Amino acid sequence: MNTQVDSQSVTLDITGMSCASCVAHIEKALKKVPGVAQASVNLATESATVQGQTLQAAALVTAVEDAGYHAAVRTDAKKPSAAQGSNPERYQFLLAAVLTLPLLYPMVFSWFGQHVMFNGYLQLALASPVQWWCGRRFYIGSFKALRSGTANMDTLVTLGTFSAYGLSLFHLLSGNSGMDALYFEASTVIITLILLGKWLEARAKQQTTTAIRALQALSPERASVLRNGAEVEVTIEALKIGDELVIRPGERVAADGEILQGRSQLDEALITGESAPVLCEPGAHVIGGSINLDGQLHVRVNAIGTETTLARIIRMVENAQAKKAPIQRLADKVSGVMVPVVILIALITWLAWGLGAGDWAHATLNAVSVLVIACPCALGLATPAALMAGTGVAAQSGILIRDAQALENAQALTVVAFDKTGTLTQGKPRVVRTVAFDGNDQQLLAQVAAVQQGSEHPLAQAVLCAAASANISIGSATDLRALAGRGVSALVDGKQFWFGNQRLMEELGFASKLLVRRAEENSSEGYTLSWAAVESAGSKQLLGLLQFQDTVRATARQAVAQLHKLGIRTLMLSGDNQASAEAIAKEIGLDEVRANVLPEHKAQVISELQKQGARVAMVGDGINDAPALATADVGIAMGAGTDVAMQTAGITLMQSDPLRVADAIAISRYTYRKIRQNLFWAFAYNLLGIPLAAFGMLNPMLAGAMMAFSSVSVVSNAVLLRYWRPTTAR
């Protein structure tokens, strides 16, 4: 394998990791490879994401394997290892448990005052398969770590269990086989409990990936396609752009496309989070993976493979799960030095008890307890397990969180700034009135429509629709120019013509009382005004105005109320005049309005708020919003918006529903709370357990149980995130 990758990231599937120190060691090894700028290893997903220039995939794999682990480059066809469901720990645990239970009988009978003692060689026969077969993974892992000059969880388990097993074997061969001289049950119980913990941990980790596995299962394996007039069945991989799909009721849509024929309800719940079916007709866009509920559809394919919406969602969720949250840095620093420090503490414990009390057997058991309780498994799982569960359940609700940084920033937000058109409103304005100052309204509408031909702007579409409804013949315009944030200019009937907002009219020199009065009269009712002007015989003249009205989204007011409940201040940025913007803001319940804001100035407003100490999110849907989305602490893009906005944003909402903004912040806060809880418990286990073990207050078996269930507890706590539901589903 000599694959070379330029200026992009490589994802590796890694096996053999056991704790957070493994993560630190692999990251260190990868960063030494030439061309690597950044390496992030995730214990929960058993993967590594490497970024840099001219990366050699073979060199990355070699670096990981030289460090004592196995690696393979992940391709598009491969699924994350966490989704595979492989769980060998179960069988190893069951065998270890069967062989360990007889060794516990003497201890159990001693609780009732009876002294039952198995033959020492029988204990050896029961303990040896557990030690060398069931526990071989720890020996293999510790040997690899030793060979690469490091130490990990396997090192601690190996030292602890072998010490108990070796001391018991020494006493047995020396003729001392009394109850107080043999500790075979301690070594076997430790291994059994750790295997139980690994089994439960693996099952819990699979639950954290339920959401992404559900998304992966949405894509059907085969599709019906019309080719040469005949319907044939092909694999998904064989689909081509332009193919015509035949989708019957009950079938899943095989790829993104446009409906050519048919009318049906589609269930897009698992993709967009929208629980209600969506009515789709010819010309409508459909998403691959959605379910056709009733009518038969013919769909032209316009995206396949990795370019489909479903593939992009899965890729975004996987990327978010693979990256580390900034809060993980403390755990990484601790885990990087933890194993050597623990070995030192165990050595000090052994010497202190042995030299102080003269009981080297008891000293060994206390040292074993220190080694076993201190394994940093929980530290390595605390953050990624919560991230996997949180980003997964968010994706199922139509909330795509790009990375851990966006999630961490979202939970600390204090201000949310909304763009108006297409975000708080439907983005489909209509012309409610044409006012020509010379009385010829139809001529004015025809002139404006001529200027707006070919434009995709919502106001332009409204003008063209109004002209079509009035059966007005539209002429032609030349020398068309878009005036960003202000309007357009063109030559109409040989005369210079302008159509735009009040700012444009003021730039042209119109500042009459009529302009101001007309604006106040109309905008107070929530109308957006656009003015028409012409230059004739060297002088500029106002021709009239058009009144537009956009419908406020049904959930806008509820969205603002939810944000207020979260303690977040709301702000609207609009290019409209002040009175019109304030009318919309009053209807919705916003805290503040910034009107007459040009697109390039939205980012400046965001920066000003940040300088005042606010943590700001920008919510938008268009190309004009991209600079503001990038400037904000968190950019939130509405799903119906442009690709530019979605690529710039840290969070993408698959539905154009402002209520999902509050949901995105809520799940971010909930996930971050779980991360902090997990880190607390991970540190608490060690901070409490190590001193207890060192002072002889924790026997090796209890230490093994605590270590095993520390990992299970943090992953199980993360799994609770699966039960979060968005506001609309409660």
Q: 527, 549, 571 — which closes off a domain?
A: 549
For residue 393, is it within any domain?
no
Same domain flag for 286 and 383: no
CATH number at residue 41: 3.30.70.100
Say if residues 23 and 12 touch (Cβ distance below 8 Å): no
Give the H or E element holding residue 514.
Answer: helix 513-523
Alpha carbons 185 and 700: distance in angstroms, whole number: 10
CATH number at residue 495: 3.40.1110.10
Helix residue ranges, H only, 70-177: 89-110, 120-129, 136-147, 153-173
Which of 18-27, 130-139, 300-309 is the most confident on average? 130-139
Torsion of CA 467, 468, 471, 474, to 10 degrees: 60
Phi first, then psi: give them for residue 374, nearest 5 degrees: -90, 5
CATH number at residue 297: 2.70.150.10
Q: Which two tokens stand for residue 229?
A: 């007039």
- Of all residues in the chain, the percent with pLDDT exceeding 70 is 86
Q: Greater confidence, 705 or 26? A: 26
Alpha carbons 398 and 378: distance in angstroms, whole number: 30
- For residue 677, give every residue at least 6 positions away whose Cβ sits within 8 Å of its Cβ, in sequence order, or none: 717
Give the H or E element holding residue 352.
Answer: helix 328-357
**Nearest residue to 707 (alpha-carbon basis) of 198, 350, 203:** 198
Write the pLDDT tens digit of every residue in 702-715: 877 787 778 788 88
Give the H or E element holding residue 298.
Answer: strand 297-303
Same domain flag for 226 and 284: yes
104-113, 319-328, 437-446, 650-659: segment of lowest average pLDDT: 104-113
Write the pLDDT tens digit of every residue in 633-648: 999 988 754 455 556 6
Phi first, then psi: give them for residue 268, nearest 5 degrees: -115, 20
Same domain flag for 517 and 532: yes
419 belongs to the catalytic site: yes
Q: 262, 286, 307 — which closes off a domain?
A: 307
Q: Would you give the DSSP letter of residue 133?
A: I
Please, how many CA atoms are within 13 Å of residue 594, restricted to the half-sphere of its CB?
19
What does the chain come to in residues? Answer: 730
Alpha carbons 717 and 711: distance in angstroms, whole number: 10
**Phi/psi-derived region of residue 287, left when phi > 0, alpha when psi is between -120 and 50, beta in every other case:** beta
Q: How many domains does the chain have?
A: 5
Give the H or E element holding residue 416.
Answer: strand 415-419
- For residue 245, give every residue at least 6 positions away whose Cβ sits within 8 Å of its Cβ, in sequence order, or none: 223, 224, 225, 226, 253, 254, 255, 257, 297, 298, 299, 300, 301
Residue 10 confidence (pLDDT) above 70: yes
Same domain flag for 417 and 291: no
Same domain flag for 200 and 299: no
For residue 631, is it within any domain?
yes
Tokens 């559900």 found at:
214
Alpha carbons 140 and 147: distance in angstroms, whole number: 11
pLDDT at 109: 55
- What mean pLDDT comes out for the span 685-705? 84
Alpha carbons 153 and 42: distance in angstroms, whole number: 16
pLDDT at 85: 41
Same domain flag for 183 and 329: yes
Residue 274 confidence (pLDDT) above 70: no
Q: Greater confidence, 96 or 518? A: 96
**Nearest residue to 364 (alpha-carbon basis) of 165, 125, 142:** 165
Same domain flag for 530 and 414: no
Q: Predicted confidence band at 107 (pLDDT cuts at 50, 70, 90)?
A: low
Single-letter residue type at 556: A
DSSP state letters, 314-350: HHHHHHHHHSPPTTHHHHHHHHHHHHHHHHHHHHHHH
Write the pLDDT tens digit of every residue in 652-690: 888 888 999 999 999 999 999 999 998 888 888 888 888
pLDDT at 81: 42
Q: Which two tokens stand for residue 514?
A: 């009529």
pLDDT at 110: 57
For residue 167, is it within any domain?
yes
CATH number at residue 584: 3.40.50.1000
pLDDT at 640: 55
For residue 499, is it within any domain?
yes
Q: 496, 518, 549 — which closes off a domain?
A: 549
Same domain flag for 414 and 541: no
Q: Find the catalytic residue in 256, 403, 419, 625.
A: 419
Same domain flag for 193 and 142: yes
Helix residue ranges, H only, 499-625: 502-507, 513-523, 556-565, 578-588, 599-611
- For residue 431, give every residue at least 6 positions away whose Cβ sits within 8 Å of its Cβ, in sequence order, or none: 445, 462, 463, 465, 466, 546, 547, 548
Alpha carbons 280 and 296: distance in angstroms, whole number: 11
Tokens 């699924």 found at:
79
Q: Say how many Å lie between the first and final Cα of the chain, rounded.
A: 51
Phi first, then psi: give them for residue 388, nearest 5 degrees: -60, -45
Please, how many CA atoms are within 13 Å of residue 182, restricted to the half-sphere of its CB?
26
The SS3 of residue 533 is strand
For residue 730, is it within any domain?
no
Alpha carbons 484 and 572: distance in angstroms, whole number: 19
Same domain flag for 131 and 202: yes
Same domain flag for 44 and 155: no
Structural domain span for residue 47: 4-78
For residue 663, is it within any domain?
no
Task: Tell me the average pLDDT of the chain.
Answer: 82
Same domain flag for 437 and 541: yes
Q: Greater confidence, 467 or 147? A: 467
Q: Which two tokens stand for residue 643?
A: 């690709």
